[in-house]
Structures are given as structure tokens and as C-alpha cells.
Structure 1
């Protein structure tokens, strides 16, 4: 069973679970501020669930690439969309600042 590490918590989940759902089910959120209310609910349209990941996750699909190729995101960044990423093994998740979580150091 994979473990998601986020904001000091360890959350166990099923292999193949969507990261956004794992976080929300655990009472966490992949969104900053009002983006928790103003988001596309997992349809890869808004980009507010962008997070930095380190671990075993699914490959980026076309729908995710399309959204991350538009401002304020950049495909060259380290970000992934939590709503489109499946957890395949243990993963560390970091949410950056900014409405979209786009302010990577």
C-alpha cells in the first residue's frame, strides 16, 4: 500500500488512486486559499491542484500536458496536476505558493 507524505502527514492509499482524491479524503487539499473552492473538481481545466512530486506516480497524459503548457504554468517546471496523477508507490508531495501553486523556488 503506497504512502503519500504531505504537510507532515503520512497517508496510506490504494495503488492507482488519484492523488487529488487521496488528499481530499484525508482532509487535506492540493489547493491554496480560495482555489479550494474555485477549482475544476478534477477535470484538468484550472490547474490549481499543481504540486511538486517525488516518488512513483503515473506518466503525464495529454490532458495534463495541455493544461500545464498554459500560463501561469510551464511544462518545463517540476509540477504535476494532483487531479491527473495516480499514486503507484510512495510519494512526497509539496504544494508551492501562489493561487495555482506555481511559485516554485
Structure 2
């Protein structure tokens, strides 16, 4: 079973599990500020669940590529949409600031919650 590290926690999940579902089921918030109100609930259209991922995950699909190509996101940031990402092996997740998660300051990392 793959292990997802996020907010200082290690979460076991099934291979192929959707990263957004894994994190939300554990109470790990993926949306900054009021972006939780407008999030697309996993359709891959809003871009608010953008995170940085280290580890083995599925390749980007067309929906994710399209959304991350639009501002305020940038391909240079190496962000992924949690809602479009399947966990294939152990991963480490970092959430950044900014309404869309496009900022440069971590909100939480694999090792630390935002409260630490």
C-alpha cells in the first residue's frame, strides 16, 4: 500500500486512489481561504486543489494539463491537481499559499501542518 505524507501525517491508501479523496477523508484541507466555496468538487476545472507532489503518481490527463496551463498557474511551478491525480506509490505532498495554491510559501508540507 502506498503511503501519502501530508500535514505531518502518513496515510496508507490503495494503489490508484484519488489523492483529493485520500486527503479530504483524513480531514486535510486542500483549499486556501474562500476557495473552498468555489471548488469544482473534483472535476478538474477550478484549479484550487493544486499541490506539489514528490513521488509516484499518474501522468497528467488533458483536463489537468489544460487547467494548469491557465493563469494564475504556471507549468514552471510543478503543481498538480489533487483531484486528477492517482497515487501509484509513496508520495509527499505540499500545499502552497494563494487563493489557487499558486503561491511560493508553503501552507503545509509533508512533515508539518500549517499549525506547527
Name the TM tier (shorter chain): over 0.9
SS in structure 2 of the partner of residue 30 of structure 1: coil
CA distance in 1, matches of 2:82, 2:94: 11
Structure 1 position 46 matched with structure 2 position 46: yes
2:28 aligned partner: 28
- 2:68 corresponding residue in structure 1: 68
Partner of residue 12, structure 2: 12
The DSSP-based 3-state class of the residue aligned with 2:77 is coil
Q: Give distance in 2, aligned partners of 1:100 and 1:40.
A: 12
Q: How many residues align?
A: 105
5+ unaligned residues in a row in structure 2: which ranges?
106-116
**Structure 1: 5+ residue runs without aligned partners?**
none
Distance 1:25 1:37 in 2: 18
Normalised to the residue count of structure 1, the TM-score between the two structures is 0.95
Q: Give the distance between the partners of 1:12 and 1:31, measured in 2 at CA.
A: 22
Tell me how far 1:38 sits from its aligned partner. Answer: 2.1
Of Structure 1 and Structure 2, which has the larger fraction of its residues in strand?
2
Using the size of structure 2 for normalisation, the TM-score is: 0.86
State the 4+ residue runs in structure 1 displaced beyond 4 angstroms: none
Distance in 1 between residues matched to 2:74 and 2:13, nearest whole Å? 29
1:89-104 aligned at under 5 Å gives the runs 89-104=89-104
Alignment partners' CA distance in 1, 2:8 and 2:62: 31
Residue 59 of structure 2 is matched in structure 1 by 59
Cα offset, 1:104, TM superposition: 2.8
